[in-house]
């Protein structure tokens, strides 16, 4: 699905030297490189504050802590997403309120958000799934109207750019109140272990988030708020600082590979190729097809037999997961999310994908349908 070894080979000299420099400095925790990388990422994204942390799940949790969300508060989340988003809501004792997704973009269906808002709603968490932004223009308008926060989960969409109707452009993660991302190795900007970050343009929140991520202290051993221990290792920051310089190139490589898949697959009637949100660029964390003839699992098995890995992101919608099930949302509550779990299939997608490999993959898909 990914080729992290192939990617490393291309930048080996730079990465190795960054790692050695870090090890020789012995500044393993909170080294200068952590702040330097955060500064570079702020410049890249246009965010006023970038606060690194230990992983993307922590980023979501710290964001919710920084907004002082309290038990009984409700948080709106797409029913079709990765579990981390829902997990931290539940861990903080908040109530997740699911909303169905758009069948074409896979992102939260903005037409269904307002019906889910109650006096207890404090935040909406749009997840920019597979690499393109949710409809942030509409989400911000709804959030402003109801005076609620927006926490963007941009773990899969770092580098994607959203264009507002007035022509203004903003990067994923810098549009809402707080943006959260992950540097998990297979993410578009991945490190060699765990890592994450939060984005905000609000000075108060920027400082508060930093405190929470550091045991609730600004001054050492003076704990003004309940915090957590969530740091980005200096070694990971050193690696990320190198890879950030390639992020635009990596996004372009993914997008080019997506266009090749599009072109090769367009005449396969049983498949729907990814639909682009007109207001967002797509950085293709995943290239996800909809298999519309009910044969998704058979196709997956056929490809597996030919040595082609594929993945199902995600096989069960959030409201039907055992840990998150509530009688309030029985099967049938979110028909789009439920149908997507039966038909989505993600093909190999990474920065080192060659046209030859893609042709091999597509030929095997076509031979399945012959
Ligand atoms: C990867 C991911 C996360 C969590 O990131 P970790 O660094 O693995 O904790 C959260 N949300 C989404 C949508 C993700 O894809």
57 lines ligand 1 (CB under 6 A): yes
Residue 117: both structure tokens together:
């808002």
Give residue 370's pLDDT.
Answer: 87
130 lines ligand 1 (CB under 6 A): no
**Ligand 1 atom, smallest distance to 59 CA:** 9
Task: Give the phi and the psi of residue 311 in degrees, each rounded to 5.
Answer: -135, 155
156 lines ligand 1 (CB under 6 A): yes
82 lines ligand 1 (CB under 6 A): yes
Please state the pTM of the whole predicted model.
Answer: 0.97
Residue with tokens 């909809």: 290
**Ligand 1 atom, smallest distance to 55 CA:** 7
pLDDT under 50: residue ranges of the chain = none
Question: Which tens digit of pLDDT belongs to each residue from 156-186?
Answer: 999 999 999 999 999 999 999 999 999 999 9
Give residue 36's pLDDT.
Answer: 97
Mean pLDDT, the chain, integer: 97
Dihedral, CA of residue 350, residue 361, residue 264 and residue 315, to nearest 10: -70
Using CA positions, which residue lies closest to atom 5 of ligand 1? 56
Question: Which tens digit of pLDDT belongs to each residue from 35-88?
Answer: 999 999 999 999 999 999 999 999 999 999 999 999 989 999 999 999 998 999
Nearest to 70 by CA among 123, 116, 113, 115: 123
154 lines ligand 1 (CB under 6 A): no
d(CA 307, CA 289): 19
């Amino acid at each position: 699905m990914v080729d992290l070894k192939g990617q490393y080979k291309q930048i080996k000299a730079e990465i190795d030297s960054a790692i050695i420099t870090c090890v020789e400095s012995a500044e393993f925790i909170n080294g200068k490189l952590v702040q330097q990388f955060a500064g570079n990422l702020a410049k890249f994204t246009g965010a006023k504050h970038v606060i690194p942390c230990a992983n993307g799940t922590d980023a979501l949790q710290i964001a919710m802590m920084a907004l002082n969300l309290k038990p009984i508060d409700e948080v709106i989340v797409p029913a079709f997403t990765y579990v981390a988003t829902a997990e931290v809501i539940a861990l903080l004792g908040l109530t997740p309120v699911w909303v169905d997704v758009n069948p074409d973009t896979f992102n939260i269906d903005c037409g269904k958000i307002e019906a889910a808002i109650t006096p207890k709603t404090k935040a909406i968490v749009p997840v920019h799934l597979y690499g393109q932004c949710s409809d942030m223009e509409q989400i911000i308008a709804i959030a402003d109207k109801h005076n609620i926060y927006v926490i963007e989960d941009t773990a899969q969409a770092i580098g994607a750019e959203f264009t507002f109707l007035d022509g203004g452009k903003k990067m994923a993660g810098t549009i809402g109140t707080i943006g959260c991302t992950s540097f998990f190795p297979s993410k578009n900007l991945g490190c060699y272990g765990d890592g994450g970050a939060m984005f905000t343009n609000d000075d108060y929140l920027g400082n508060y988030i930093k405190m929470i991520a550091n045991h609730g202290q600004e001054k050492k051993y003076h704990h003004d708020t309940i915090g957590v221990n969530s740091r980005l290792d200096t070694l990971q920051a050193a690696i990320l600082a190198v890879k950030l310089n390639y992020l635009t190139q990596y996004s372009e490589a993914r997008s080019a590979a997506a266009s090749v898949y599009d072109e090769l697959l367009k005449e396969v009637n049983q498949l729907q190729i990814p639909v682009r949100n007109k207001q967002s660029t797509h950085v293709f964390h995943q290239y996800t097809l909809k298999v519309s003839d009910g044969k998704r699992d058979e196709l997956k098995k056929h490809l597996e037999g030919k040595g082609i890995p594929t993945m199902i992101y995600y096989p069960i919608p959030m409201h039907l997961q055992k840990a998150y099930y509530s009688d309030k949302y029985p099967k049938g509550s979110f028909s789009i999310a439920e149908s997507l779990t039966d038909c989505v299939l993600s093909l190999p997608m990474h920065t080192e994908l060659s046209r030859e490999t893609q042709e091999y993959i597509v030929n095997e898909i076509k031979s399945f349908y012959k």
